[in-house]
Structure 1
Amino acid sequence: MELPAWASVLAVVLATVLFLRAVSGRRRRPCSSLPGPKPWPVIGNFNLLGALPHRSLDALAKRHGPLMRVQFGSFPVVIASSVDMAKFFLKTHDSAFIDRPKMAAGKYTTYNYSNIAWSPYGAYWRQARKICADELFSARRLESSEHVRREEVRALLRDLHGAAGQVVPLKERLSTMSLNMIARMVLGRKAVDREVVASGGGSVTTWKEFRWMLDELFLLNGVLNIGDWIPWLSWLDLQGYVRRMKRVGKMFDRFMENVVEEHNERRWREGDAFVAKDMVDRLLQLADDPNLEVKFTRDSVKAFTQDLVAGGTESAAVIVEWAISELLKNPEVFAKATEELDSVIGRGRWVTEKDMAHLPYVDAIVKETMRLHMVVPLLSPRLSREDTSVGGHDIPAGTRVLVNAWTISRDPALWEAPEEFRPERFVGSKIDVKGQDFEMLPFGSGRRMCPGYSLGLKVIQGTLANLLHGFAWRLPDGMTKEELSMEEVFGLSTPRKFPLQVVVEPKLPAHLYTAA
């Protein structure tokens, strides 16, 4: 079979590079004193990564140690896989490793690095972080939106009550609830109106299309794109990822433009009587503030809004789906959770956010789910801003660093029977998920940790507690718990490979569901 023209060109380019490397002599590589696998020319250690890179790097760490060097294409990468190493990079030397490398995902899906996750360290990022802390996720704002979270959880409970006895695709229902909840807080209205998420300018974004957009965004922000690691091959887009990034970026921009226009129209219409009702309103006010250190542009508003909607929708749905999956695998845990809920809440009302302080076992289930099923198993890459050394090894400025939080959360030196689902390990434990305990980092740590973790925890805890309180759960007829697959898919998050199908039966008085 005749090879395509591009394959011939690529072969010539690769042969040339190999020849030049051979004749140029061996040079000392950055971080070369660190242990790690021997890299191949051009590709480095890409050949050692499987479909689940966090598991591949875990296997390598077992051979080379908790601090190792791998070569991804043209770049040396330091992999940290222990509590001590995570603390070194994320806390002790956080200021040295606070920057981000520039990746294609940040360029094409976040308005040229305009969101808080991908923006490089500097005045803009510091300002963005302050806006998140003071404006978007402050205790006052979260308290003022508690009724929104309560109402959307109750809507989910009504929906499931109406589907009692039927096979339900749980992730789809959870995503709808999360999206409506976040949309009301961020956009000021529900996102899902029957099948239409947004319409404007002659175009319509359907719920099915928006669900695909979210899944694609999370996948593409977590993949290892060859062009990011072998820059001189980036123009070929060998995996097709950049093409997909550009496509989903344009689709999100169409949606975000509609959102911004809707909010601006209300501002102009109401004039001096305008009062900010949601996060987009507040972001647009900030964009008009002449006293900001760095100008907040229209793209900044869209990037932040996309961050809030996408991040808030995905993580909660993924964690709750994994939690229900584990409980179906471990019915004895289900029984203990039900016993606690019946004792503390009773059968005459729903769980509130204030109740969570009195539900230590349900809280332990949330933590154990986050430990065993890290939403972000490889924390977003860091970039060293200055020369540093650790354990006698020099790490020069410009080195990329990955923290394998998945390995740490399953380290047998930290956790007894780490592969088993045991919520009891957290009952009475002081280990938390807020970035101070490095044994478990579901939201990261340091100044680059997820700024919305407090909101995420409230949504996850409140949703799961009410689902366990309101329903008895089982797998579809003919399916045993042993047949329930627990495979995952890698991306920016790690959802189930096969969406969970469940059957629910209400167990509280009927009027609670209709009044929910």
Structure 2
Amino acid sequence: MFSARRLDGGAGVRREKVGRLVDYLRECSARGRAVDLGQAAFVTSFNLLSATFFSVDLIEFESDATQQLKETIEGVTKILGTPNVADFFPILKRLDPQRIKKRSEFYFGRLLGVLGGIIDGRMESRSMETKNDLLAALLHLMDGSEYDLTYKDIQHLFLDLFVGGSDSTQCIVEWAMTELLANPEKMSNAKNELRSVIGEKNQVEESDISRLPYLQALIKETLRLHIPGPFLVPRRAVREVEIGGYVIPQHSQIFVNAWAIGRDSSIWPNPTSFEPKRFLNNNIGFKGQDFELIPFGSGRRMCPGLPLADRMLSLMLGSMLHNFEWVMEGGVRPDTTEEFGMALHKAVPLKAIPLYCF
């Protein structure tokens, strides 16, 4: 699904979803309305995934269903990132003192119900329609005898993909726009690059990405300063190992504090400052080879959706910057308070007014 050939074949779908985002922002601009940028990015990334997986858009901009689904996925990530005292004192598991089990059953149940309804509908209509998407391929494998793939396997696979794909993309776009609104000169640098490379009236295309080094640098800087998964995905030690004089017992659960690595003053000068130019004169990337910047992890267990996220982030941010000027409602400075969990959300959602340029 994330191979270069498949991603190249899906360029038209990504162009369509980003085009719908631009149309929505243009409509808000005409009305002088502030946009919840996190929700707009969420709808765009979620519909990209649903179109790829199910050949259909599942949500719309500014609908109650969209808000409920967004809150459900954010609820899942918050629960996954909450330390559970019952993990340290098993005698408390039945009591569930923090209500983590109860809340997780609610949020996971709601999301699995949505996905189950889509899968059930496709299974009922398979004889009437043929679609070339991921769900069709998985149902075909489930029918065969070569793979031991169950209905529940498919349901939970999609849950992982939607939670990991839509929430993290939303976080990165929202944080990038927050930092750019807080640093107008950085936004001006990005807009000037887009104007000089693409031209005033042309749209940002995937073929343009490699010619936009400052846009790539500001995405890297956002990933360094506001990594979407502060502790990455938990690992487990398959054997006892000694690292730096510390013995890690076999089967230990391991968290990598990538948030702290991104703010380590021994690696990054002025680590709390948003400085995209720090990535202009070096080859540091976020694809797992440079351990000072590992927002998607590294090695065999790194995020498989990295190639898709790389393209979508550049397209979404490039289009939002190239087509619009942005101002904060009331002229206030954007809040940069972080809310920790499995994903690093903003404590206060970013709302800004787009001013259409062309």
Cα deviation code 1:368-400 (max 9, x no counterpart): 000000101112222212121223433221222
Matching of residue 281 in structure 1 with residue 100 in structure 2: no
Q: Distance between the aligned counterparts of 2:108 and 2:246, measured in 1?
A: 40
Residue 208, structure 1, aligned to residue 61, structure 2: no
Q: 1:195 to 1:264 in 2, by over 3 A?
A: farther
Report what 2:169 is aligned to. Answer: 316
Question: 1:302: how far off?
Answer: 0.5
When the two structures are superposed, what TM-score results if normalisation uses the length of structure 2?
0.95
CA deviations over 1:56-111 (Å, ceiling 9, x no partner): xxxxxxxxxxxxxxxxxxxxxxxxxxxxxxxxxxxxxxxxxxxxxxxxxxxxxxxx
* Distance across 1 between alignment mates of 2:91 and 2:79: 20
Bigger Cα Rg: 1
Q: How does 1:481-500 map to 2 (within 5 A)?
A: 481=333, 484-500=334-350
* Separation of aligned partners in 2, 1:206 and 1:362: 33
Q: Deviations over 1:337-395 (max 9, x none)?
A: 11111110001211001100000001001000000001011122222121212234332
What is residue 404 of structure 1 aligned with on the other side? 257
Q: Which secondary structure state, in structure 1, belongs to the residue aligned with residue 346 of structure 2?
A: coil
- Runs of at least 4 residues off by over 4 Å: 193-196
- CA deviations 1:449-471 (Å, max 9, x no partner) are 11111111111111001111000
Q: Are the counterparts in 1 of residues 43 and 60 from structure 2 also a CA contact under 8 Å?
A: no
Deviation at 1:195, TM superposition (A): 7.6
- The residue number in structure 2 matching 1:159 is 24
> Which residue identity is paired with 2:8?
E
Correspondence for 1:297 among 132, 146, 150: 150
1:288/1:502 CA distance change after superposition, 3 Å: same
Residues 232, 256 of structure 2: 8 Å contact kept: yes
SS in 2 for 1:268: coil
Does residue 421 of structure 1 match 2:288?
A: no
Structure 2 residue 36 is matched with structure 1 residue 169 = yes
Spell out, residue by residue over 1:110-153, the C-alpha distance to the aligned partner (whole angstroms, 9 max, x if none). Answer: xxxxxxxxxxxxxxxxxxxxxxxxxx211122111111111111
Q: What's the secondary structure of 2:221's corresponding residue?
A: helix
- Paired residue for 2:284? 431
CA contact (8 A) 1:409 1:439 kept: yes
Q: For residue 104 of structure 2, what is the aligned residue in structure 1?
A: 245
Q: How many percent identity over aligned positions?
A: 35
CA contact (8 A) 2:43 2:61 kept: no
Change beyond 3 A, Cα 1:437–1:194 = closer
Paired AA for residue 144 in structure 2: D
Alignment deviations for residues 395-419 of structure 1 (CA, whole Å, 9 cap, x no partner):
2212222111011111111111111
Query: 1:280·1:305 contact (CA, 8 Å) conserved in 2?
Result: no
Query: How many matched pairs?
Result: 356
User: Larger relative contact order (C-alpha < 8 A, sep ≥ 6)?
Assistant: 2
Q: Secondary structure at the match of 1:413?
A: coil
CA RMSD of aligned residues (A): 1.6
Contact 1:186 1:309 in 2 (8 A): no
TM-score by length of 1: 0.67
User: Which residue type is aligned with residue 287 of structure 1?
Assistant: M
C-alpha deviation, 1:172, in angstroms:
1.6
Q: What is residue 219 of structure 2 aligned with on the other side?
A: 366
Change (3 A) 1:166 1:393: closer
Aligned residue for 1:183? 50
The corresponding residue for 1:475 is: 328
Q: Report whether the alignment pairs 1:230 with 2:230.
A: no
**What secondary structure does 1:137 align onto?**
coil
On the 8 A contact 1:186/1:308 being kept in 2, the answer is no
Letter in 2 for 1:341: L
Contact 2:112 2:156 in 1 (8 A): no
- Say whether the 8 Å CA contact 2:168–2:229 is kept in structure 1: no
- CA distance in structure 2 between the aligned counterparts of 1:405 and 1:391, rounded to whole angstroms: 18
Deviations 1:210-253 (A, max 9, x none): 12211111111221122223222111111001000111122122
Gaps of 5+ in 2: none
Distance 1:195 1:374, change over 3 A: closer
The amino acid of 2:268's aligned partner reads W
Q: Structure 1: 5+ residue runs without aligned partners? A: 1-135, 197-204, 509-516
| Contact in 2 for aligned 1:376/1:492 (Cα 8 Å) | yes
Alignment of 1:25-64 (within 5 A): none
